[in-house]
Amino acid sequence: MKKSLISDPSTTWQWIDLESPSEKELLEVAEFYKLPKTSVIDSLQPEHLPKFESIGDINFLILRVYDAQAHREADTIQEITNKVAIFQSGAFLITIHRNSSQMIESVREKYVMTSIVKSPADLVPKLVKASLRSYETPSYRLAEELDYYEAKTFLNEKMPPLIKGLYHLKRKGAVCRRVLRLTESVLGGMRQGAFQPTSLQDTEDLHVHLETQFEEVNEGTNNLINTYLSLSSQKTNEVMRVLTLFSAFFLPLTFIAGIYGMNFEFMPELKQRLGYPAVIGIMGAVSLVIFLWFKRKRWL
């Protein structure tokens, strides 16, 4: 669907928004505005990662915007982000995306309808900043989830099955961090291009802040996974230790019981009146010796 996002007839430039455009519709727009063919092809690829190109007097950007409606267990770039392609020159700005974009509408209401921006070059940094802001809430949410898993790991006597949740948390943090690192190349291209450094300062500060947050989440998740596995291993070792102690007690007792359970015809002790109490006493003495030895070794 093609629509113009600028309603003021006195404006000297255009903002054309294409939502889920057909190939024919996109090619018509590309031909009319003389858009680079290779960039148009890139804009059609839903899995394309952030990039910046300057071809002649046209700047081409691809941004990845965090999808607030993404499934809780989504953990790939395609599942948790939406691509927005931008073509910009002095006379026009064209945005292309498959799904409806709240980001574009909010930028339009905040900067275009209030006439704060005067040109496409002023609007592009606002779009980049808005795309970065879409990662603010997820960064706080992931940090809260990390705190939740941390409390579950250290405060519960029993070890709950957290590894799957930690894996998805790690994947989300890694995906967002990767998108932000690729977005850094977009900011670098804009800085070297025709965009004013002052218009990018706030955006770059936000980018550094978000990248640091996701780096902390990723590092914290890795540490927590290692700790969780260590604690799980420790729990297993404790269980094995208890089983080993039981085995150490019962092995000699089983040996003694096995000897007198062989049912040979000539076993003098079987004919003795005190044979049974004597064997029980021997078993008790063996158990006491094992217990005292374990206590001396501090294994109990």
What averages of pLDDT result for each successive group of 10 residues across the chain (300 residues)? Answer: 77 89 88 91 90 92 92 88 94 90 90 87 93 95 92 74 87 94 92 80 94 94 89 82 85 85 73 80 87 81
pLDDT at 279: 83
Structure tokens that stand for 193 in this block: 């291009």
CA 63 – CA 18 distance, rounded (Å) = 15
DSSP three-state, residue 144: helix
At a CB cut-off of 8 Å and minimum separation 6, what does 195 contact?
Answer: 121, 124, 125
Is residue 52 within a helix (H) or strand (E), and if so which, with residue range? strand 51-55
Domains in the chain, ordered, with CATH?
A: 2-232 (3.30.460.20), 238-296 (1.20.58.340)
CA 124 – CA 132 distance, rounded (Å) = 13
pLDDT at 160: 67
Q: Look up residue 236 and give its amino acid.
A: T
Burial 36-62 (b: 16+ CB within 10 A, else e): eeebbebbeeeeebbbbbeeeebbbbb
CA 21 – CA 44 distance, rounded (Å) = 9
Would the pTM of this model clear 0.85, i.e. be above it?
no
CA 238 – CA 225 distance, rounded (Å) = 20
CA 25 – CA 218 distance, rounded (Å) = 42
* Residues constituting the chain: 300
CA 210 – CA 136 distance, rounded (Å) = 7
Any bridge partners for residue 18, and if so which?
A: 2, 96
pLDDT at 182: 94
Q: How far apart are the first and last CA of the chain?
A: 75
pLDDT at 204: 93
Is residue 85 within a helix (H) or strand (E), and if so which, with residue range? strand 81-88
pLDDT at 2: 80
CA 209 – CA 231 distance, rounded (Å) = 33
pLDDT at 116: 87
